[in-house]
Amino acid sequence: MTSATDSPPPKFRRRAEARPDEVLDAALVLFGDQGFARTTVDQIARKAGLSKGAVYLYFQSKEAILEGLVARAIGPVTEAAFDRIESFRGDPRPVIEGFVRLLVGAMRDPNVRSIPLLVIHEAPGAPDVAAMFRRSVLDRALPALSALIAQGAASGHIRAVDPELTTRTIMGPLIAHIFLADIFSVGNAEPATLRRLADNHLSIVFAGLEPHKGGPA
C-alpha cells in the first residue's frame, strides 16, 4: 500500500505555479481564433481546464490577461534593451543595431509576433487595448529611443535629425514586415529573411544618420 508520504502532491499544489501560463496559453489561442472582444473569461477558463474563479485568482479581468500576454511575450525581450538604451551615452548606432536585431530575432517566434498583430486588430474597436499596449510598450520604447538619438546628435556622433521621427523611421519597417508577412503573405518570418531585413534596414538607417563631412567627430 502506498503511504501518505509516497502519494503525489495535490493537483492544486502541483500545478499552481504553472496556472498563469496555462491561462495565457488558452487566451492566446482564443484571442487568435475569435478575437479579443468575442472571447469571454468563461471560455478562457474552460480552455485552460480551470474554473472561472481560478482564473480571477491570477488575472482581475480579460484586459489583465491580454496585458499578461504582452508582458510575457515582449517583456523578457525588451527590458534589458530598454535599460541599456536609457543609460547609454555615445554613438547610438551600435545600440540601435542591437535593438533592431533583438526585435527581429523575437519576431521569429509566432507567439511573440502574434501579440502586436492582435493589438493592431483589436485596437480600433477596443480603446482600452490600445491604451494598454501603449502604456506597456510604446510609452517606454519611443521616448527611450528618441533620447538615445537626441544625445547622439548633440554629441556629433550622428547628424542632426528629428529624434521622434527618426525613432518612427527605425520602428516602422519592422511593423510593416509583420503586416506584410502575416496578413498579406508577402515574404515570411524565416530566420534568413529576417536577417536580410535587419541588414537592409540598418544599412539604410545608418547611411541616413552618417554625420555630415567636415562636421564634428
For the chain, which residues make up each domain, given as ranges?
10-60, 61-209
Cα–Cα distance measured from residue 56 to residue 72, given in angstroms and rounded to the nearest whole number: 18
CATH superfamily for domain 10-60: Homeodomain-like (1.10.10.60)
Which of 93, 117, 91 has its CA nearest to residue 174? Answer: 117
DSSP annotation of 16: G
pLDDT recorded at residue 21? 94
Which pLDDT does position 9 carry in this prediction? Answer: 43
DSSP code, position 6: G
Contact, 209 vs 159, CB < 8 A?
Answer: yes
What are 121-130's pLDDT values in tens digits?
888 888 888 8
Q: Is the pLDDT of residue 84 over 90?
A: no
Answer yes or no: are the C-beta atoms of 193 and 201 closer than 8 Å: no
pLDDT attached to residue 3: 44
What is the rounded distance in angstroms from the CA atom of residue 166 to the CA atom of residue 208? Answer: 10
Is residue 166 pLDDT above 90, yes or no? Answer: yes
Average pLDDT over the chain reads 87
Task: Identify the pLDDT of residue 16.
Answer: 63
- With beta carbons less than 8 A apart as the criterion, state whether 97 and 62 touch: no
Segment 13-48, tens digit of pLDDT: 445 666 999 999 999 999 999 999 899 999 999 999
Does 204 have pLDDT greater than 70?
yes
Res. 200 pLDDT band, cuts 50 70 90: very high
* Gyration radius (Cα) of the chain, Å: 21
Give the pLDDT of residue 168.
95
- For residue 145, is pLDDT > 60? yes
Using an 8 Å Cβ cutoff, are 149 and 161 in contact? yes
Does the 61-209 domain belong in CATH 1.10.357.10?
yes
Is the Cα torsion angle 151, 152, 155, 160 positive or negative in sign? negative
- Contact yes or no for 177/187 (Cβ under 8 A): yes
pTM of the model: 0.81
**DSSP codes joined into one string, 18-43:** GHHHHHHHHHHHHHHHH-STT--HHH
